[in-house]
Chains A and B, each alone.
Chain A
């Protein structure tokens, strides 16, 4: 998923932010309150880089594991910066709506997080995480008994079919497209299979999607799709019952399948959630329904959210940040005050920032290596939150991906986070490119501009000339996403859609993804890499695939170096003293909403 060019605007520049499924973090509070840097380290992350497990019927049963000391009742207060653009699951790809969806929507599968941070894919509406008898070419899911929507109507396989088929309709443009593409063709060709979605009475043939009875749905692919159970956990594939679908209008008034339903929704102002009486805890393996409701209001800047919750007065005692983070200027106070730091959750996000080096323009690897060596990651990170905002990166895979290797550091970025100017100068001299001009594109936003000055100075010290071009934030990805962007270097962020390198490596580093609007920003087009990626995509055994992705990643970074690793991002949120059950949700990379309660 693509990351907004600004952390602050992440919630605003919605479609670009696209922060949804992520494997992150360590559970609970890591803040020490002793004034030291207690931002979590890669040792914590290592625990999270375990491969995802797949749960059976037993693991998929409800109710969710009890939480010691949890009480019922009360209303959780939520301070949120911006409105949720979409509530229609099919239009949800971004982190804020994705976070809310864990309370109101449910899909066929979901992730269950254990106390150690391990993740298991389990059946949510389905009885298990899916069964396949042909190594992932077809997948069968069976609905649990007694699953109802908030109107009390039972969900059937027809609704599951409808959920997938409506994603083909033209008005559905913002959600994920993985499953549609796997079923009916890549790019936008899948839309031709069902141009009007299911709305004109047409359906996908049984050879693609079959619903033999009221309880069963079978997905049939041309090639093995071992990641289907994980793709189905995305909020974008949550169920929309056929009879309740109001097409374009659905985004402003969906029915709920989760433990809460929308009581009141005022665009731009706020949202009230109340208990969904038709939600049955016995069918739900990971959600609780402790509080009576949620009172969400918008227009609270990160500074306002942080200060209100820090003050811990009145309703702020019962409050949380939903998809906002602690305001950067307040981070120090939050982590150093023992009373406040015990009310925080933190962890790694799935995003890796990289400095793309346009390979159409910088063809000499020694020059790319010189740039990589010259960058002072630690200083560059400072405007983006410092140690609590992220951590210098050694490679291009996030610590949250299975297979992440914390010792992988071919350019000594972890050993020398302030850069290695001597090495850079040496390489540049060797390449005979001293004094080379680099056109550096950066978003015209305060912290990106601040970073640009640091990058510029370092590169100039290494012997480059730097020509900075500031690009408006709203046009950032449009500009750098053009193949002929006329830029040499530019920073972009990316995170996985689910804990697998399949949602990172092919998208960013396969030569087939060089096109306007696509995400191979560095324009790497290496025959060996392309072949290896194509081969890895066909591996059905997750562990074997993971090993292959690690090899490809190492080859890309060491042998080609299309993008300098910059930093991994981290999350820090604060909550009120009366909120119980708080832990870092590894899947969403925010506070886990499914288990919160009020202490009194």
Chain B
């Protein structure tokens, strides 16, 4: 297990390094000059030179990349003060520490993810199991067709529809907003209820379809049939044998979804006006803000890699045939 973890963490570090390099160099290849955005009216070449110096853009690109990388391990000094390791630099746009900004935004994205996760896993897997158990019945048909419709929806479509129906037109619910969990769990949940539900609608549908398909497949496997032939109870076979086998692909997809969601649920956050990592990513690109783009990209990539490792590790617990070494 330890060897597995060390190997995977090392691999992930190399990937992160590559991602950071590619992002950094692509940034300079893309159109848009961050110095120009910070240059007021009647911007002159001299004024641009001063801004480039202020932003550190006067140095060569490899030099800038080296400063960025070394800052992560040793910290850096900026005009606004010292940036402790892991230092992701200072935003070009609002001159705040990128690390602090990301830490500040993370709770929103984590809250969105965790709440949504609980809803869509419970409903999605529950409905999938039910449909599989009642295969061919009205229950199955209802679950399958509903999930087919829901999984074809998009948050940017269904989000405004729900907002229009329950917030703007009727006032049944307050418009979504993020309240700190520790300031009051009820207000936290109430503020995020609509995004959770909308996000879950789509994810629930996907997990329902996947669970149903996996379970039906597993229920036809030899080991399940053998278990039945041995006279084991149908519930025991369903959960102990079939479900365990069906979990492997579900956990894989879940790991990918979680990594992506924690890296920033861009569409959900934009649709509901929530200031999380996804919104930050969009803002950083719009503002041609290199340090912030790098920071968000690295945090997002780290989540995805982390969940990939966790998923691989989880296989060993779910499927006894898998050995990490």
Residues of A at the B interface (CB closer than 8 Å) are 1-2, 9, 12-16, 18, 82-83, 85-86, 93, 170-171, 173-177, 187-188, 191, 247-249, 251-252, 266-269, 297-301, 303-304, 307-308, 310-311, 313-314, 471-472, 474-475, 477-479, 481, 497, 507, 513, 515-519
Tell me whether B32 and A475 are in contact (CB under 8 A): yes
Q: Offer 21 A-B interface pairs, CB within 8 angstroms, sorted by A.
A: A2-B41, A12-B283, A12-B286, A14-B37, A15-B36, A16-B37, A83-B94, A93-B41, A175-B40, A187-B44, A248-B79, A267-B96, A297-B177, A300-B273, A304-B273, A307-B164, A478-B31, A481-B43, A497-B41, A515-B44, A518-B42
Tell me whether A478 and B287 are in contact (CB under 8 A): no
Q: Choose one: B32, B36, B101, B171; the contact of A314 (CB below 8 Å).
A: B171
**Nearest chain B CB to A215's CB is how many angstroms away?**
31
> Does B246 have its Cβ within 8 Å of any Cβ on chain A?
no
Tell me whether B275 and A248 are in contact (CB under 8 A): no
With most chain B CB atoms within 10 A of its CB, the pick from A15, A300, A307 is A15
Q: Write out the residue numbers on chain B whose beta carbons fall within 8 Å of the beta carbon of A311.
A: 167-169, 171
Report the tally of A-B residue pairs with Cβ distances under 8 A. 147
9-residue interface stretch from B49-57, B68-76, B147-155: B49-57
**Nearest chain A CB to B90's CB is how many angstroms away?**
9
Bound-complex Cα distance A304 to B169 (A): 12
For window 151-208 of B, CB contacts with A under 8 Å fall at 160, 163-164, 167-169, 171, 174-175, 177-178
Tell me whether B50 and A299 are in contact (CB under 8 A): no
Tell me whether A268 and B283 are in contact (CB under 8 A): yes
Contact A13/B286 with A297-B177, A311-B169 known, Cβ cut-off 8 Å: yes
Residues of B at the A interface (CB closer than 8 Å) are 31-33, 36-48, 50-51, 53-54, 79-81, 93-96, 101, 104-105, 160, 163-164, 167-169, 171, 174-175, 177-178, 270, 273-275, 279-280, 283, 286-288
Tell me whether B44 and A268 are in contact (CB under 8 A): no
Q: Choose one: A176, A268, A507, A516; the contact of B40 (CB below 8 Å).
A: A176
Q: Write out the residue numbers on chain A whose beta carbons fall within 8 Å of the beta carbon of B287.
A: 12, 14
Name the residue of chain A whose CB is nearest to the CB of B160.
Answer: A303
Contact A173/B80 with A299-B274, A474-B32, A507-B42 known, Cβ cut-off 8 Å: no
Tell me whether A18 and B96 are in contact (CB under 8 A): no
Bound-complex Cα distance A251 to B80 (A): 10
Bound-complex Cα distance A174 to B287 (A): 14
**Nearest chain A CB to B299's CB is how many angstroms away?**
15
Bound-complex Cα distance A497 to B53 (A): 28
Bound-complex Cα distance A187 to B47 (A): 8
Contact A177/B42 with A252-B95, A313-B171 known, Cβ cut-off 8 Å: yes
Tell me whether A517 and B104 are in contact (CB under 8 A): no
Contact A173/B54 with A248-B95, A252-B94 known, Cβ cut-off 8 Å: yes
Name the residue of chain B whose CB is nearest to the CB of A494.
Answer: B41
Tell me whether B54 and A171 are in contact (CB under 8 A): yes
Tell me whether A15 and B31 are in contact (CB under 8 A): no
Contact A475/B31 with A15-B36, A299-B273 known, Cβ cut-off 8 Å: yes
Bound-complex Cα distance A313 to B104 (A): 30
Bound-complex Cα distance A15 to B42 (A): 11
Tell me whether A191 and B50 are in contact (CB under 8 A): yes
Q: Write out the residue numbers on chain B whose beta carbons fall within 8 Å of the beta carbon of A15.
A: 36-40
Q: Choose one: A14, A267, A300, A307; the contact of B168 (CB below 8 Å).
A: A307
Q: Write out the residue numbers on chain B whose beta carbons fall within 8 Å of the beta carbon of A303.
A: 160
The 5 A-B pairs with the shortest beta carbon distances in the complex, nearest first, are A474-B32, A475-B31, A188-B46, A299-B273, A313-B171
Name the residue of chain B whose CB is nearest to the CB of A270.
Answer: B275
Bound-complex Cα distance A9 to B270 (A): 15
Contact A9/B286 with A173-B47, A252-B94, A297-B177 known, Cβ cut-off 8 Å: yes
Q: Write out the residue numbers on chain B whose beta carbons fall within 8 Å of the beta carbon of A308.
A: 167-168, 175
Bound-complex Cα distance A314 to B164 (A): 16
Bound-complex Cα distance A175 to B44 (A): 14
Bound-complex Cα distance A516 to B273 (A): 38
Tell me whether A268 and B273 are in contact (CB under 8 A): no
**Nearest chain B CB to A41's CB is how many angstroms away?**
30
Q: Write out the residue numbers on chain B whose beta carbons fall within 8 Å of the beta carbon of A300.
A: 273
With most chain B CB atoms within 10 A of its CB, the pick from A2, A170, A176, A268 is A268
Tell me whether A13 and B37 are in contact (CB under 8 A): yes
Name the residue of chain A whose CB is nearest to the CB of B285.
Answer: A474
Tell me whether B42 and A249 are in contact (CB under 8 A): no
Tell me whether A266 and B104 are in contact (CB under 8 A): yes
With most chain B CB atoms within 10 A of its CB, the pick from A299, A314, A477 is A299
Bound-complex Cα distance A313 to B93 (A): 35
Tell me whether B288 and A176 are in contact (CB under 8 A): no
Bound-complex Cα distance A252 to B177 (A): 23
Name the residue of chain B whose CB is nearest to the CB of A92.
Answer: B40
Contact A517/B38 with A13-B286, A170-B54, A475-B32 known, Cβ cut-off 8 Å: no
Tell me whether A173 and B177 are in contact (CB under 8 A): no
Q: Write out the residue numbers on chain B whose beta carbons fall within 8 Å of the beta carbon of A176.
A: 40-41
Q: Write out the residue numbers on chain B whose beta carbons fall within 8 Å of the beta carbon of A85.
A: 93-94
Q: Write out the residue numbers on chain A whose beta carbons fall within 8 Å of the beta carbon of B43.
A: 481, 517-518
Q: Write out the residue numbers on chain A whose beta carbons fall within 8 Å of the beta carbon of B274.
A: 299
**Nearest chain B CB to A496's CB is how many angstroms away?**
11
Bound-complex Cα distance A247 to B81 (A): 11
Contact A268/B105 with A307-B168, A311-B169 known, Cβ cut-off 8 Å: yes
Tell me whether A188 and B80 are in contact (CB under 8 A): no
Q: Write out the residue numbers on chain B whose beta carbons fall within 8 Å of the beta carbon of A82.
A: 283
Q: Write out the residue numbers on chain B whose beta carbons fall within 8 Å of the beta carbon of A16.
A: 36-37
Q: Write out the residue numbers on chain A whose beta carbons fall within 8 Å of the beta carbon of B104.
A: 266-269
Q: Choose one: B44, B105, B160; the contact of A517 (CB below 8 Å).
A: B44
Contact A474/B40 with A299-B279, A308-B168, A517-B45 known, Cβ cut-off 8 Å: no
Q: Write out the residue numbers on chain A whose beta carbons fall within 8 Å of the beta carbon of B42.
A: 177, 507, 513, 517-519
Q: Write out the residue numbers on chain A whose beta carbons fall within 8 Å of the beta carbon of B270.
A: 301
Bound-complex Cα distance A478 to B53 (A): 19
Name the residue of chain B whose CB is nearest to the CB of A170.
Answer: B50
**Nearest chain A CB to B159's CB is how many angstroms away?**
11
Tell me whether B81 and A174 are in contact (CB under 8 A): no
Q: Write out the residue numbers on chain B whose beta carbons fall within 8 Å of the beta carbon of A83.
A: 94
Tell me whether A267 and B37 are in contact (CB under 8 A): no
**Nearest chain A CB to B234's CB is how many angstroms away?**
51
Tell me whether A478 and B177 are in contact (CB under 8 A): no
Bound-complex Cα distance A140 to B45 (A): 34
Tell me whether A177 and B40 are in contact (CB under 8 A): yes
Bound-complex Cα distance A307 to B54 (A): 41
Q: Write out the residue numbers on chain A whose beta carbons fall within 8 Å of the beta carbon of B51.
A: 173
Name the residue of chain B whose CB is nearest to the CB of A246.
Answer: B80
Contact A472/B37 with A83-B94, A170-B53, A299-B273 known, Cβ cut-off 8 Å: no
Bound-complex Cα distance A515 to B44 (A): 8
Name the residue of chain B whose CB is nearest to the CB of A88.
Answer: B95
Tell me whether B275 and A268 are in contact (CB under 8 A): yes
Q: Choose one: B46, B53, B81, B101; the contact of A267 (CB below 8 Å).
A: B101
**Nearest chain A CB to B156's CB is how many angstroms away?**
11
Q: Choose one: A93, A472, A518; the contact of B32 (CB below 8 Å).
A: A472
Name the residue of chain A whose CB is nearest to the CB of B175.
Answer: A308
